[in-house]
Each structure stands twice: as C-alpha cells, then as structure tokens.
Amino acid sequence: MKKIDLRSDTVTVPTQEMREAMVSAEVGDDVYGEDPTVNRLEAVTAEKVGKEAGLFVTSGTQGNLIAILAHCSKGDGAILGMDSHIYNYEGGGIAAIAGVLPLLVDDTGGIMSEDSIKKWCRPHDVHFAPARLLCLENTHNRQGGNAVSPQDFKEVAVAAKEEGLSVHLDGARIFNAAVAWGVDVKEYTSVVDSVQLCLSKGLGAPVGSILCGSAEFIERARHWRKRLGGGMRQAGVIAACGLIAIEKMVNRLEEDHKNAALLAELLEDGGLLVEKPRKRTNMVYFVVKGEENKVKTLADRCAAKGVLFNALSEGRFRLVTHLWIDEKDVKEAAKIIIEEASCC
C-alpha cells in the first residue's frame, strides 16, 4: 500500500538530482572554513535574504537556539509568541541551554500586537529580566501555517527595533510566506536582524538550516555552533542538497500551496471543520468533534489505510503538503479522512 505521508514537510526525501549532487560534492573541513560547497551555500543563501553572512546549522532548532545565544546573555528576556515553535517544540532549549527567560505574548493569527511587545520593554529595574530580543515566526506553524503579510510583519519588527530590541525570525518556512504573498523574501528578512530558514522542509533537502545575519553576528553564531557540537567537517555532502533546495525548489512551493487549498476544500465539502488562516500555505488544520475514543484513534485508523498525519491536541489535526504529494494523493487522502471522521 502506498503511504500518503502528510505528517510534515520534514518527511521529504531528497530528489535524484540531490542524491547525485551528494556524490560529486567538493568537500573540505568546514571547521577550518575549507568546505567550498558549504561556503557557497552560506554565501548564496545570505545573498538571497539580503544579509552579510550565513551559517550552515544542523537543524531549525539549532539555528533558533544559536540565534538566541548570539543575541542574548543569560538572564535576558526574549519576547516569544505563546504559540511559537521555539516555545512549544524546541525542548525548552531557550531555558535549558541559553538561560533566557521567555516573555510570552499572544500571537493568535501568527503575529503579536505592537502593544503586547511594548509592555515587556520596561525601564531598567533590578526586578526585571531585561527584554533583549523579539522572535517572530513566519509562516506560523501552530497558527495554521498562516503566512503573515509583509506589512503586518514589518510593522511589528520596526516597532520592536524602536524599543531597542533585536529581532530574530524563525523562518523555517519563510519562502512559503514569500511565495504565498508573491513577494521577494527580502520583504521579510530586511526588517529583522537574523533569520533561520530550513532547507529540510518544503525545499526538500535531507538535512540542515541556514542562519543569516550581519558578519559580526554570524561570527558569534559560529562560536556558539562549535560550543554546541555543531561543527560538521565535510558537510559539503549535505550542503550540496541545500544548494539545490535554495536555488531550484523555491518556486515549486506554489504547488504545495495549491494542493493544500484543494485538500482544505475537499475536507470542508465532506463536512469537516477546517481552520481558515488568513493566508494558507502548505498546511491544513482541522478539528473533529465526536466520541472521545473515536476522535483519539482517528489518525491511527487513517494510518492503517495509508494516510499519515499528526494529531496536535485532542481533536485538532494537521496535514502538510510537500514535494512528494500530488493532486491524486490529496483526493485519496481526503476521501479516507472524511470516511473515518464520519465514524466519530
């Protein structure tokens, strides 16, 4: 039975072109700065997002953690959305490793209000952890994969900078946001100090993220990456896939968005409660109400029929389209999900 895997765009396996690029990649010791493929990937990505320098890191989680470490000192505060990936899904690294205090704000819709940020920017007082950093996320995973508009994003980033904060973007899927709004990615990245973007999600590379920022910031970030054990030696083998991801896979994200829109429409037509983000990208969240036991087993029952997806919380489910999902898969998945959900 063919599996239709909608758990995440992280499940994408490398394309044939990527596999061939790995075989012929020119490599060297990247800790000495001597891996030409890594160097090229870092330079190409930094240029695309309009920053001075880039750093190849093992994962989005590592990229975000390094950014926090490079922007903050122990005991500082970082303003984070309550629904942000950094706060919810990165193992508490911000606390465990960086010793930085999350200053939480409501990010319903994918972005916080300017006022909520300003409330944390209090005058110096020995009682307070000083707010140093604002972390934004776009697209916003737990908020339905919503692509925050360039204008809303810019307003908040500029307001934070006026308060003297540094701004980091968890741009795991920032190219999805740019494609969804039909803008150059720099519309987002030009207003932040640092951005982490994932090569291993919709862009299809097997491993890795790039953290970008000023040359001086990336120097500090490189030191933190080493301290965290993330110096990777002949990493050109995987960076070769990253180059294909960044140079050739961005435009096809539109296809994933089309498939997600179709999936949302089919599920809705089938009577399911589908969440409607302002700008959908490659995610579809839906909610099922019904007998507790049956709702709980929905994902497992669909998996038994070849359709894989994740339950986020009881009754709330997420489907993610990607490189290896086509229109036929979408139709088949919708049929099975509707059938199984109707038994709840």
Q: Point out which residues bind ligand TLP (CB under 6 A).
A: 8, 10, 59-61, 85, 89, 137, 141, 170, 172, 198, 200, 209
Shortest Å, Cβ 175 to ligand TLP: 13
SS3 call for 310 = strand
Shortest Å, Cβ 58 to ligand TLP: 8
Phi, psi torsion values for 196, nearest 5 degrees: -110, 125
Residue whose CB is less far from ligand TLP, 53 or 172:
172
Residue whose CB is less far from ligand TLP, 15 or 281:
281
Shortest Å, Cβ 66 to ligand TLP: 12
Helices in the chain by DSSP H: which ranges? Answer: 16-24, 36-49, 60-71, 85-89, 93-96, 114-120, 150-162, 174-181, 186-189, 215-227, 236-248, 253-269, 292-296, 298-304, 327-341
Shortest Å, Cβ 343 to ligand TLP: 27
Pair of tokens at residue 268 = 């809705």
Pair of tokens at residue 258 = 């089309």
Q: Partners of 212 in the beta sheet?
A: 54, 195
Residue whose CB is less far from ligand TLP, 109 or 270:
109
Residue whose CB is less far from ligand TLP, 130 or 242:
242
Shortest Å, Cβ 61 to ligand TLP: 3
Residue whose CB is less far from ligand TLP, 14 or 130:
14
Residue whose CB is less far from ligand TLP, 174 or 274:
174
Residue whose CB is less far from ligand TLP, 89 or 128:
89
Q: Taking each helix axis from N to C terminus, what angle separates 60-71 and 215-227, rounded to the nearest 10 degrees?
A: 110
Phi, psi torsion values for 133, nearest 5 degrees: -135, 145
On whether the CB atoms of residues 153 and 188 are closer than 8 A, the answer is yes
Pair of tokens at residue 322 = 């990607």
Cβ-in-10-Å burial (0-12, 13-18, 19+) of 338 comes to middle
Shortest Å, Cβ 123 to ligand TLP: 32
Residue least distant from ligand TLP (Cβ): 60
Shortest Å, Cβ 207 to ligand TLP: 8
